[in-house]
Structure 1
């Protein structure tokens, strides 16, 4: 710990995609940034693999996109919601988006971290194996740095900074230390993630709406694909080979659309991760001296693929606020004002999308089916949904739009555009 700098401009706690993005954006403004992460070697995880077009823009501007392409990131042209047989219920064509970024990229999370890491300016230093335990405060109570845990025979250290960025996940120690409250709810299901090798799938995000809930399939680098399967909290306890095979037989019978994956899936059953799924929203994004970025501030259901994309947008917005304002705390207030409403919108979009697909019975499932049918038949609502999901043209659906989705009103402008679109390259 003795070789840590005593002070820097910014300390970032967490070297996931959100923390590295914050370091990249802030370091580019000339600030000296120190990134600290408790993991010595980041482990593999099924997260942050779907990069929406607005994130592609950010990564392109940071000169990180070429590294992702070199890692065989898979371009995807559309998102489709399908039934258990594969029949299309609703589709979003990214080619119809405004602007030059009209694809999703599917990449390994490790490749995304590496791509952002390679783009870091010389003003950024990253240290692994260093655990941040809490925030330092000055005499006025303002966050003024961090405390870090010591190793063997080491009492720990302190690093002072004008700004501390908490990018340390949903259980953020810094957020708790700063006294920022959160609303956190767990969905009544879990997701089982499979890394399926030797699988050739279409260039599509395919969300199957089935009797068991969500099955989500998308391509990954190296002729692989990701398969998410919705399971009950007490459902998946299979451990032996025979039990796993029986579970797989039942899944393939329930979702015949994924039958082409049967062989590769069976060979990949050992590569699985089981996740609880949460909604989380911090009551504030900042207090004097400290900003929250990524999952320390917000988490949404993976169905809408907004998690890591929101983290990159947080980083860009925080750096823009610091570049625009004369003082750090004024910039943090500006960051709160700019990002708060957008994150509320993302939370609503993600939750509504998740309920449409994951509800198993009752009014939520019936309403979800109706809303999908009405949206699929309304080109204007499809374009607005595409803009919201992609981040390229964000305009929340109005109360009247919701009535159109439910079929309670007739949209006489369904075939028109909301406004003139910019030139598409």
Structure 2
């Protein structure tokens, strides 16, 4: 049962709130949870009557787990059967390991990833909402309400709802972002990802395979299932009938012998798929007076590095932290908090986006520099751990231009076998054995 109040679209509700959150995906529910925990009255408006069934947003990083543990969400997910994943391995097409990220070395009480279905993650967030949060589904947000140059609410189903803060969590094509005058120029990758859910006798493993045909990524889900992503060209699967899909799946498997353990399940499930576009962006600004962008309304990254949903959770946590430090919901205090949120998040999102993009290039393209970077990172203990720390959401660990040269083997690294100080401390304390 949700701790917040879940209302149908024809239910009467107040027209004045401390905050209005537009969108009930992970970003929106995280924002509502974080703001509600500050004691604010929060209204969540969602146009869809039910959550989407999408094959994304299924892997939570250690940094997000620290936040979700505080909110009570992580415990709910583990009670619902979420799986702990302790390492990610980048492999050659035949399965030979090329780079291994061992999350047990991270300086956190949760040195693992957590995997579950997207609807289950949404449900756990919804069940953790504080009592002051109301969720209204089937509600169409028609636009913003302004007082002068400040956003002071939204128009929903013909009614003006006012609030000290409006949170735009309405996704990639955010209507509120456009109406607020904010932009998010998007760069599309030259490929897409076809997502498959495999069932049957499939071994649990979290691996990314580098093949001549691009990325193949697999990880386990509860119930003995496996999520498999296959990199495809935009029209590669369009119009294929049963025979064409069978031939296509055979080509994928021939090009990636490492997938042999899931070959039978892949052939059986190849007709049931989602094809996902892949893009990246970071809005030049995440706020205007009275309004903040969170989640995909403000930023996108390649899903290979599992950063999108986790960055959305960090957005919500940071936004609430800045508002808590302000101490009130007066307009000037809120807008000062929004400026600080914008500075903090764009700083981190810039580095996260760059790290995700570089990781994607190493595995989705067969360029000389990408191949050398993957090999160099895999062989360099120090750099590999710094990259893992950034990807985990525990804090940005910058690589210098010299580190980049070490990665591609242009310069030898005398510190390659030396773990960062934080990793040595954790290993020495025994946490790495988890």
TM range (shorter): over 0.9
- Moved segments of 4+, more than 6 Å: none
Change (3 A) 1:2 1:48: closer
CA distance in 2, matches of 1:99, 1:260: 33
Deviation for aligned residue 1:304: 0.8
CA distance in 1, matches of 2:20, 2:107: 37
Match of 1:345 among 348, 351, 355: 351
> Is the 1:170–1:280 Cα contact (8 Å) retained in structure 2?
no
**TM-score normalised by L of structure 2:** 0.92
Deviation for aligned residue 1:113: 0.5
Quote the RMSD (CA, aligned, Å).
1.4
Q: How does 1:169-180 map to 2 (within 5 A)?
A: 169-180=171-182
SS across alignment from 2:369: helix
> Is the 2:40–2:132 Cα contact (8 Å) retained in structure 1?
yes
Task: State the match for 1:34 in structure 2.
Answer: 43
Task: State the match for 1:226 in structure 2.
Answer: 227
> Is the 1:201–1:218 Cα contact (8 Å) retained in structure 2?
no
Q: How does 1:10-49 map to 2 (within 5 A)?
A: 10-49=19-58
> Is the 1:83–1:208 Cα contact (8 Å) retained in structure 2?
yes
Task: State the match for 1:256 in structure 2.
Answer: 257
CA distance in 2, matches of 1:224, 1:418: 36
> Is the 2:202–2:265 Cα contact (8 Å) retained in structure 1?
no
Change (3 A) 1:8 1:353: same
CA distance in 2, matches of 1:32, 1:162: 10
Say whether 1:355 aligns with 2:361.
yes
Q: What stretches of structure 1 of length at least 5 have no aligned partner? A: 151-155
CA distance in 1, matches of 2:416, 2:359: 21
- The total of aligned residue pairs comes to 413
Q: What stretches of structure 2 of length at least 5 have no aligned partner? A: 1-9, 328-332
Say whether 1:113 aligns with 2:115.
no
CA distance in 1, matches of 2:379, 2:175: 46
Task: State the match for 2:314 in structure 1.
Answer: 313
CA distance in 2, matches of 1:278, 1:15: 22
Q: How does 1:384-395 map to 2 (within 5 A)?
A: 384-395=386-397
List per-residue Cα deviations over 1:285-322 (Å, max 9, x = no partner). 11100000000010100111100000000000000000
SS across alignment from 1:229: strand
Task: State the match for 1:142 in structure 2.
Answer: 150
Q: How does 1:150-161 map to 2 (within 5 A)?
A: 150=157, 156-161=158-163
> Is the 1:279–1:298 Cα contact (8 Å) retained in structure 2?
yes
Deviation for aligned residue 1:238: 4.2
SS across alignment from 1:225: strand
Q: How does 1:14-413 map to 2 (within 5 A)?
A: 14-138=23-147, 140-148=148-156, 150=157, 156-202=158-204, 204-326=205-327, 327-360=333-366, 365-413=367-415
Change (3 A) 1:110 1:62: same
List per-residue Cα deviations over 1:71-112 (Å, max 9, x = no partner). 211111111110111011111111111121210011101111
> Is the 1:194–1:272 Cα contact (8 Å) retained in structure 2?
yes
List per-residue Cα deviations over 1:246-284 (Å, max 9, x = no partner). 111111111111112122122222321011111121111
CA distance in 2, matches of 1:314, 1:238: 40
List per-residue Cα deviations over 1:183-234 (Å, max 9, x = no partner). 21110011100011224323x4200000100000000111111100001112
> Is the 1:238–1:247 Cα contact (8 Å) retained in structure 2?
no
SS across alignment from 1:182: coil
> Is the 2:91–2:210 Cα contact (8 Å) retained in structure 1?
yes
**TM-score normalised by L of structure 1:** 0.94
CA distance in 2, matches of 1:52, 1:338: 20
Deviation for aligned residue 1:56: 1.1
Deviation for aligned residue 1:117: 0.8
CA distance in 1, matches of 2:322, 2:97: 42
Deviation for aligned residue 1:59: 0.9
